[in-house]
Amino acid sequence: MPSFKSAAVILQVTDYAEFDRIVSFYTRDHGRLRGIAKGAKRSQKRFGGALEPFTHNEVDYFEREGHGLTRLENCRILNTFPAIILDIKKIAYGHYLLELVNTLTPEREKHPEILDLLLFFLNLLSSQPPREDILRVFEMRLTSLLGYQPQLLQCVSCGREYVPQAAYRFSVNKGGILCAVCHKESDAYPCLSHGTIKIFQQAQQLSLEKLNRIHFSASAHGEGKLIMLQFLEYHIGKRPKSLEFIEQLTKV
């Protein structure tokens, strides 16, 4: 059984059989993996607090021939992001980030930059007051790293280059902006103002360490949220579960 050691963030943990847990984790070396943690349910000693969502670990795991699941052997905790679990909004936003990585990334496809993105946003969430608009930046950046970011530099139908003065709408299934000639004011396509397009272009283009400079106005965030949630639902095939938790907190 080949064994590996990699930095990883725990995405999801579920109980399995009497004593075990199934863990979904995103590794630097092999992308997203699932593994069985034998005895993790029965004894806290072996893995300590390492198998909690958000935890950044160095993980030892074995590949088991003929099995989709790896076997988790040891975890060394690097960071538990304690400030996240003290704030209900941070917990809700954080679980949303984990769910997007868990549902959008293909298993066993290596993208170390996705681990960097996730760690950057967990640090951001941990160190600043919770802001919902950082979720929009994360969504945009994650889809870019996976190769299907919304097209915002030219009309996705006719290919004409984006012009700041013109009126644009967004096509979810074509995956980008539509110019006025192509959308013909159809309500089937939500409007996207110049300000929102510009912020999303920055979210696609800025270097990782500058992403925390991006702020949405309330109206840009409203527009951006509408199109990104439709776009993600189109790609995932369902609405992310943790959105419900976020919506409940917004109502309070």
Rounded-to-integer distance, Cα 84 and Cα 127, Å = 9
Q: SS3 of 226, please?
A: helix
- 155/192 with CB nearer Zn ion: 155
Choices 15-23, 114-122, 181-189, 202-210 (CB under 5 A): range interacting with Zn ion: 181-189
- 184/235 with CB nearer Zn ion: 184
Residue from 100, 124, 172, 182 that binds Zn ion (CB under 5 A)?
182
- 18/185 with CB nearer Zn ion: 185
Supply 80's token pair.
């538990």
We find the least distance from the C-beta atom of residue 165 to Zn ion, in angstroms, to be 15
Residue 204 Cα distances to 63, 210, 239, angstroms: 35, 11, 23
Binding mask 132-161 for Zn ion (x = CB under 5 A): -----------------------x-xx---
Rounded-to-integer distance, Cα 202 and Cα 152, Å = 10
Residue from 97, 179, 203, 228 that binds Zn ion (CB under 5 A)?
179
Q: Would you count residue 50 as binding Zn ion (CB under 5 A)?
A: no
- 38/169 with CB nearer Zn ion: 169
92, HSE (Cβ side, Cα atoms, 13 Å): 14
We find the least distance from the C-beta atom of residue 176 to Zn ion, in angstroms, to be 10
Ordered alpha helix ranges (H), the chain? 88-104, 112-127, 133-145, 180-183, 194-205, 218-236, 242-251
Rounded-to-integer distance, Cα 31 and Cα 7, Å = 10
Give the footprint of Zn ion on this chain (CB under 5 A). Answer: 155, 157-158, 179, 182
